[in-house]
Amino acid sequence: MTMQHPIHPDDERLAALAGGDADREADAGLRAHVAACERCRPMVADLQQLRSALAELPDVAPSRPLQLVPPVAAPTPAGGGILRRLAGPFMAAGAALLLVGAVGAGASGIIPGSGGAFPGAAAASAGGAEVDTTTEGSAAGESPAFLNNQGSQASDHPVPTTRDHIASAPSTAEESAAQPAVSRVDDGVPQAAMSPWLVVLFAGLGLLFAGVAFRVVARAGP
Amino acid sequence: MPPPHPSSSGTRTPPLDDEAAVVARAARGDRTAFAQLMEHYQSACYGLAWRLLGDADQAADATQDAFVHAYDAIAKFRGGIFRSWLLRITANASYDLLRRAQRRPTTMLPDPEEGGVELPDVAAPNPVAEAGRAELYRHLDAALRLLPEDQRTAVVLCDVYGMDYGEVADATRSAMGTVKSRIHRGRLRLRELMAEHRELFES
């Protein structure tokens, strides 16, 4: 003698009742329905039977012999991996520094053949670079200082030249008490003052070689 | 016909008699002890990988990966059931392989009835008594292969290998609710697939 229920629980709730779901198993209403329902009771019984058969599925012998222990001298995957991962960024950073250093040194006349001390194009590019650096380095809040400087400079030199732009950058930096690298341009000894470009250049060269070395070692390692 | 699987005798590998001691030696770096453990449990690991991946070669690769991970991690083994620990590692290695390969994303494995499918040949030491059970296991494995990949993975880990919902969620990098739903839908689908072989459950 069983009761028929017009509305049955969702099948997924019944599947949960088959095992492993503490919430459903503790659901007294659900259990009461299943116990009384002609449709749901056999279904849950089937699912429980299925579940216990699944839990018995036998082990399977490997399709081929397996190496039970990794080789003793197995290279740690992390070591080769780190070198391999570092190689790319090192080479990219090295190339970037090399380029910046070469352009800077070339523009300041350290590298021969790039046009001497301050001839037109080179000086213009150097001047542009310096002004850009100043603007960037002194952030948006300091732009009034830059504008003021431009104003005072204009009174000294009614027709500013490229050279004046270069000179104007350091004075801006001095007023904002920053940018020591730029102030070196101001002391009027460009050759000696530009030597940091060489440092940048050689640093880039070093990083580039390190990146190449990492890649070679990582490839040869494993 | 699939190649024979001699160690599949319709059972699961029981723990070693002196397992705690062997595990302790392996954790201290004893390679012989580690090899003994892997040899003992390789059929358990391979069975799980094979049921998750559905391919003999990939299952062997995943089991091999699992052994390497286990070797790296055994020094940190902090007790518990070693078989479960190793099977969790195997499940992770298999799931990684499955995701990497993306061979059959959310599709079904081929129908074993249509041939060309490798199923383990469960040797029955006592054919009369075991034939029915072995037949049930073969049909169950075949039915598992017909489940969508996400349901199959969840049902295999939970119902075949006894992981709880949280462990399945960890192994499959899925939310608990998603895992529950996959398991429940997978069970319902398996019940439908096994309906015509109901008599085998009584064997």
**CA distance readout (Å), B41 to B72, B87, B141, B160, B191:** 17, 9, 20, 16, 30
pTM above 0.80, yes or no: no
**Residue of B13, B34, B180 lying closest to A59 (CB–CB):** B13
- Minimal CA separation from B105 to chain A, in Å: 24
Smallest Cα–Cα separation from B12: which of B97, B137, B199?
B137
**Residue of B11, B164, B194 lying closest to A58 (CB–CB):** B11
| A84-121 per-position pLDDT tens digit | 788 888 889 988 988 888 888 787 776 665 444 444 44
Identify which has the larger pLDDT, B203 or B31: B31
Give me the interface pTM, i.e. the ipTM: 0.84
Taking contacts as CB-CB distances below 8 angstroms, the residues of chain B near A46 are: 191, 198
| A26-66 per-position pLDDT tens digit | 788 888 998 899 999 999 999 999 999 999 999 999 999 99
Smallest Cα–Cα separation from A62: which of B120, B66, B102?
B120
Q: What percent of chain A has pLDDT over 70?
A: 55
**Residue of A11, A19, A59 lying closest to B188 (CB–CB):** A11
Count other C-beta atoms under 10 Å from residue A29's C-beta: 8
Residue B124, token pair as written in the block:
């029955």
Smallest Cα–Cα separation from B201: which of B111, B120, B139?
B139
- Which of A4-13, A94-103, B143-152 is most confident? B143-152
| A192-204 per-position pLDDT tens digit | 555 788 888 889 9
* pLDDT computed for residue A18 by the predictor: 84
The answer to whether B67 contacts A58, with C-beta atoms less than 8 Å apart, is: no
Chain B residue with Cα closest to A54? B160
* pLDDT computed for residue A140 by the predictor: 42
Q: Which of A27-36, A53-62, B44-53, B78-87 has the lowest mean pLDDT?
A: A27-36
Chain A residue with Cα closest to B180? A16
Residue B111 predicted with pLDDT over 60:
no
Residue A23, token pair as written in the block:
């919430």
| B7-32 per-position pLDDT tens digit | 454 688 899 999 999 999 999 999 99
User: Contact, B163 vs A18, CB < 8 A?
Assistant: no
Rounded to 5°, the CA angle B147-B151-B153 comes to 100
User: Contact, B92 vs B53, CB < 8 A?
Assistant: no
- Minimal CA separation from A81 to chain B, in Å: 16
Q: Considering only CB atoms, which residues of chain A are within 8 Å of chain B? A: 11-13, 15-16, 18-21, 43, 46-47, 49-51, 53-64, 66-70, 72
